[in-house]
Amino acid sequence: MTNTVVIGSQWGDEGKAKITDILAGDSDFIIRYQGGCNAGHTVVANDITYKFHLVPSGILYDKKICMIGAGTVIYPDAFKAEIDELKSQGVNLSGLKIHPLASITMPYHIEIDGYQENTAKKGKIGTTKKGIGPTYTDKSARIGLKIQDLYNLETLSEKLDIILPIKNKMLAKVYGLEEYSKECVIELCKKYAEIFAPYVCFDWQKLLEEHKNNKILFEGAQGVMLDIDWGTYPFVTSSNPIGGGAAVGSGFGPKMIDEVIGVAKAYVTRVGEGPFVTELKDELGSKIQQIGHEFGVTTGRARRCGWFDAVTMKYAVQVGGVTKVALTKLDVFDSFDEIKVCTAYKNIKTGEITEYYPTDVFTHKDYEPVYETMQGWKQDITGIKDYNNLPENTKKYIARLEELIGAPVSIVSVGPDRLQTIFR
């Protein structure tokens, strides 16, 4: 039995949800371990498109436990909107559980995120404005609220006496935003308690114990290059999408993890600000964007597109702990004559060539990609089910990527549908 973590190995939106959904079919317990409703996860199954933000992408199967883990942050209104939408699509949510130690995104976190993004003259991150950074900030500063706080009004009241004076001072003095009265926050919390009540799993210790010999699937959000410690800091999210984040945010220890599947697109996309060495700002970039429908699930923003960057991917394999790769969106190249792969970075000031990712992202403007050109396959691959039937040039492309990044590609995705997936 293999317990697997699914992570993004680029800057998010690699197709993690599609891979999680497929692997979930064969798992017992699916746990989302970090991030919040900044994530936008798409699964296409039986001709229906499902969009998830917080709910694990394994929820489409009956009789599985799908837990939103302790390492996540949850905005109650977003959660409510998501489950309402899923219910309207007929999704059975009986297996959905929320860990009582998950953090709550409060409306003031969203206001602060929006304020910071809208007023930044320099250093704009291009966040999703979902309050993610401010929620994790409060968690680390030990002035956050957890789901379990909603069910004990006495301790909630004591906590708010500590939290609100600090928050209100910041809201008013630093951001010029409205303060929150204690009565107002308690009313909000009562509403939140009702929203979460059917799902909060107070007996999670028993549940995890019972499942320790079952098959666990850990679902990451975002991607390694957005990791707060290992990504393109400060142009990152505020949690740990790397494979190791699964142990931190789930309550299952690191020894429970057997494989880490790093999901990667056959090219690279990025939403928001920050360096992107292989970005294509020309019509080729627009071509990838159009064919790949590269527009965000959560914010609708156009995703920046570029060639596959083996330098960052090799780094992501290393720090993300990736043991196998799921390569998605290969079909987007079906009409391309040539495909480029970035094999190294060249420093335009010194001429130095490196295959190792430079961690000071403010130096990335000094690097240009060193490309290798590969021949396209000029064939529709979206219906291919067997790896051996892929065109020779597709197989050559995959083999070259494997060589460059030092990890095997074990899953190949040739379309958004569950069925458009090839296992090796």
> Which residues of this protein are in contact with ligand IMO, per CB under 6 A?
8, 11-13, 38-41, 125-128, 130, 132-133, 221-223, 226, 237-238, 271-272
Q: Is 413 in the site for ligand GDP (CB under 6 A)?
A: yes
Angle at 52 between CA 142 and CA 80, to 5 degrees: 65
What whole-number distance in Å separates Cα of residue 158 and Cα of residue 325?
Answer: 48
Among 45, 186, 284, 297, which residue interacts with ligand GDP (rule: CB under 6 A)? Answer: 297
b/e per residue, 33-42, with b = 16+ CB within 10 A?
A: bbbbbbbbbb
Q: Is 398 in the site for ligand GDP (CB under 6 A)?
A: no
Q: Is 45 in the site for ligand GDP (CB under 6 A)?
A: no
Q: Return the SS3 of 115.
A: helix
Among the options 13, 21, 138, 227, which is catalytic? 13
Contact residues for Mg ion (CB under 5 A)? Answer: 13, 40, 297
* Residue closer to ligand IMO (CB basis): 126 or 358: 126
Encoded amino acid at 196, one letter: F
* Residue closer to ligand GDP (CB basis): 14 or 138: 14
Strands 308-309 and 338-347: parallel
What whole-number distance in Å separates Cα of residue 407 and Cα of residue 400?
Answer: 11
What whole-number distance in Å separates Cα of residue 183 and Cα of residue 230?
Answer: 40
In the complex, minimum distance from the CB of residue 278 to ligand IMO, in angstroms, rounded to a whole number: 16
Q: Is 35 in the site for ligand GDP (CB under 6 A)?
A: no
Q: Which does 321 bind (CB under 5 to 8 A by kind): ligand GDP, Mg ion, ligand IMO, none?
A: none
Strands 367-375 and 338-347: antiparallel
Task: Give the torsion sign (CA, 107, 111, 117, 122).
Answer: negative
Q: Is 239 in the site for ligand GDP (CB under 6 A)?
A: no
Encoded amino acid at 288, one letter: I
Q: Is 16 in the site for ligand GDP (CB under 6 A)?
A: yes
* Residue closer to ligand IMO (CB basis): 11 or 79: 11
What whole-number distance in Å separates Cα of residue 132 and Cα of residue 96?
Answer: 22
What whole-number distance in Å separates Cα of residue 74 and Cα of residue 106?
Answer: 9
Which letter does DSSP use for residue 352 in this model?
A: -
Among 240, 328, 343, 394, which residue interacts with ligand GDP (rule: CB under 6 A)? Answer: 328
In the complex, minimum distance from the CB of residue 182 to ligand GDP, in angstroms, rounded to a whole number: 37
Task: Give the torsion sign (CA, 118, 123, 129, 135).
Answer: negative
Q: Is 40 in the site for ligand GDP (CB under 6 A)?
A: yes
> Taking a C-beta distance cutoff of 8 angstroms, is the pair 315, 324 a contact?
no
Question: Following DSSP, what letter does each residue of 118-166 receive, concatenated?
Answer: HH-SS------SSSHHHHHHHHHTT---BGGGGG-HHHHHHHHHHHHHH
138 annotated active-site: no
Q: Is 416 in the site for ligand GDP (CB under 6 A)?
A: yes
In the complex, minimum distance from the CB of residue 55 to ligand IMO, in angstroms, rounded to a whole number: 12
* Residue closer to ligand IMO (CB basis): 237 or 343: 237
Strands 304-306 and 409-413: unpaired
Which letter does DSSP use for residue 288 in this model?
A: H
> Taking a C-beta distance cutoff of 8 angstroms, is the pair 26, 329 a contact?
no
* Residue closer to ligand IMO (CB basis): 38 or 250: 38
Among the options 41, 53, 99, 109, which is catalytic? 41
Q: Is 241 in the site for ligand GDP (CB under 6 A)?
A: no
What whole-number distance in Å separates Cα of residue 27 and Cα of residue 336?
Answer: 37
Which listed range, 138-146, 150-158, 270-278, 407-415, lies at the site for ligand GDP (CB under 6 A)? 407-415
Task: Count Cβ atoms below 10 Å from residue 150 Cβ, excluding itself.
Answer: 23
Among 243, 308, 331, 341, which residue interacts with ligand GDP (rule: CB under 6 A)? Answer: 331
* Residue closer to ligand IMO (CB basis): 128 or 250: 128
> Taking a C-beta distance cutoff of 8 angstroms, is the pair 5, 218 a contact?
yes
In the complex, minimum distance from the CB of residue 24 to ligand IMO, in angstroms, rounded to a whole number: 16
Which listed range, 100-108, 109-117, 235-243, 329-337, lies at the site for ligand GDP (CB under 6 A)? 329-337
Which listed range, 35-43, 78-86, 148-156, 403-411, lies at the site for ligand GDP (CB under 6 A)? 35-43
Q: Which does 96 bind (CB under 5 to 8 A by kind): ligand IMO, Mg ion, ligand GDP, none?
A: none
The stretches of 141-275 forming alpha helices (DSSP H) are 153-169, 182-196, 204-210, 245-250
Q: Is 130 in the site for ligand GDP (CB under 6 A)?
A: no
41 annotated active-site: yes
* Residue closer to ligand GDP (CB basis): 204 or 235: 235
* Residue closer to ligand GDP (CB basis): 13 or 138: 13
Summarize as ranges the residues that interact with ligand GDP (CB under 6 A): 8, 12-18, 40-42, 44, 297, 328-329, 331-332, 413-416
List, by residue number, the catalytic residues: 13, 41
